[in-house]
Amino acid sequence: MGRIEKVSPFIVMEILEKAKELEKKGRDIVHMEIGEPDLPPSPRVLEKIEKVKKEANHYTPSLGIWELREEIAYYYWRKYRVYISPERILITTGTSGAFSLIFSALFEPGEGIVFTDPGYPCYKNFAQIYCLEPFTVQIDNSTNYELRSFHLEELKGYTEHYKGFLITSPSNPVGNIYSKSTLKELANYAEKEDLLFISDEIYHGLNYEKEVHTALEFTDKAIVVNGFSKYFCMPGFRLGWVIVPKKYVRPMQIIAQNLFISPPTLSQLVAIEALRDDTYLKKVRNTFKERRDYLYSELSKLFKIETPPEGAFYIWANIEKYSKNSLKFAKDLLEKAGVAVTPGVDFGENKTNLYIRFAYTASLDRLKEGVERIKRFLENY
């Protein structure tokens, strides 16, 4: 099989397309499958667009505009009390752009990288595209869905072949948050074993009780990815960043010049406002927290939810008492009840046929409607 044939399609797209088809026919669908915020960006961002849109028609430096890199460095100081030189911050076209740079500049073809299962599906597809070998570690609620150093030790029994590992916290699809002690453990392990520690922190800020910590608090060798698509509610602006040790900046810059020329200019000019608007960001977090509280409490009565949803905007629910086929269950739920969710099988092979992912990226009223429909659907399932 050619390497591109190994890149898997997103099954949720099938659900989304089917939902659209039903909507065209006049059916009302509650969307709990969509992994992007329904909230607008900060009003300060929208105002700034009007002011700078005429200045935005040119490329910027390939590493991004200096003021934004400085503002991100300041954000790390304010939020985590870590000092990062802006020179180590690269602005990218979404975090997806950051992954392209990491996988192409820091790995040679054939080198291995470790991901978790379940996990965000694009990682392993990126690995395929850039000719890396993906290894997956099965995680479950015995470690609160955290990758731990003992998993990596165990993997050594099978292969010495991997160069780094990647974690997501808060995570997609489970919504768990890595504890400070696990991050410290992974940072120490990576340094001891000379591994690349890649931390996807795109859902930082969407944490409801538990604190989030950046991997950079524990090692300045970590590769930290973050962006504007989730907490900052700007997915269509296609903007992210990656923080790397200084020695990687130049090789990644060369790749960025060739792959992207520069990140989107207008987005960079306005993103500074998003980072500064603490009042709006607080509102965003409170909105998602209110939805999380409601949905978690209601869904817990219907499904087994093994790991409390601590962050991001997802709930990972076990459907075993109703079905052992999450794809069929999701299709039935859509067709019979008009509720769209993501089947677990999109996120890996580790018992994912027994889980579905709910996203609370719809208003509280819509979520309430969705819950009523799910209740009726389950009565006869």
Ligand X SMILES: Cc1ncc(COP(=O)(O)O)c(C=O)c1O
Smallest separation (angstroms) from ligand X to the CB of 240: 5
CB-CB contact of 274 with 44 (8 Å): yes
Question: Crossing angle of helices 149-156/180-193, nearest 10°?
Answer: 30
Nearest distance from C-beta of residue 313 to ligand X, angstroms = 10
- Spatial neighbors of 270 by CB under 8 A, at least 6 apart, are 41, 45, 48, 49, 52, 237
Helices 43-52, 265-276: axis angle to 10 degrees equals: 140
In the complex, least distance from residue 347 CB atom to ligand X, rounded to whole angstroms: 10
- List beta partners, residue 133: 112
Residue placing its CB nearer to ligand X in the complex, 204 or 373 = 204
Q: What is the dihedral of CA 261, 262, 263, 267, to 10 degrees?
A: -130
Minimum separation from the CB atom of position 232 to ligand X (A): 10
Write the CA distances from 37 to 122, 182, 284, 289, 361, integer angstroms. 19, 28, 9, 13, 5
Rank residues 116 and 287 by Cβ distance to ligand X and give the closer one: 116
| Binding residues vs ligand X (CB under 6 A) | 35, 94-96, 120, 168, 172, 200, 202, 227, 229, 235, 240
Rounded-to-integer distance, Cα 133 and Cα 280, Å: 41
With CB atoms as reference, the residue minimizing the distance to ligand X is 94
Q: How far is the CB of 267 from ligand X (least distance, A)?
A: 11
Of 42 and 116, nearer to ligand X (C-beta) is 116
Least distance between ligand X and beta carbon 172 (Å)? 4
| Residue 112 or 240 with smaller CB distance to ligand X | 240
Helix (H) or strand (E) segment spanning residue 76: helix 66-80
DSSP codes, 311-374: BTTEEEEE-TTT-S-HHHHHHHIIIII-EE-EEGGGG-SSSGGGEEEEE--S-HHHHHHHHHHH
- DSSP, collapsed to helix, strand or coil, labels residue 68 as helix
DSSP letter assigned to residue 139: -
DSSP symbol at 201: -
Instruction: Please choose, from the candidates 309, 116, 275, the residue with its C-alpha nearest in 3D space to the C-alpha of residue 207.
Output: 309
Give whichever of 64 and 338 is closer to ligand X, judged by the CB atom.
64
Nearer to ligand X by Cβ, of 176 and 229: the residue is: 229
Least distance (Å) from ligand X to the CB of residue 324?
Answer: 26
Cis amide prior to 173 (ω within 30 degrees): yes
The minimum distance between CB 107 and ligand X, in angstroms, equals: 18
CA distances from 129 to 3, 85, 367 (A): 7, 31, 37
Q: What contacts 349, CB < 8 A, 6 or more positions away?
A: 117, 136
Q: Shortest approach of ligand X to residue 287 CB, angstroms? A: 18
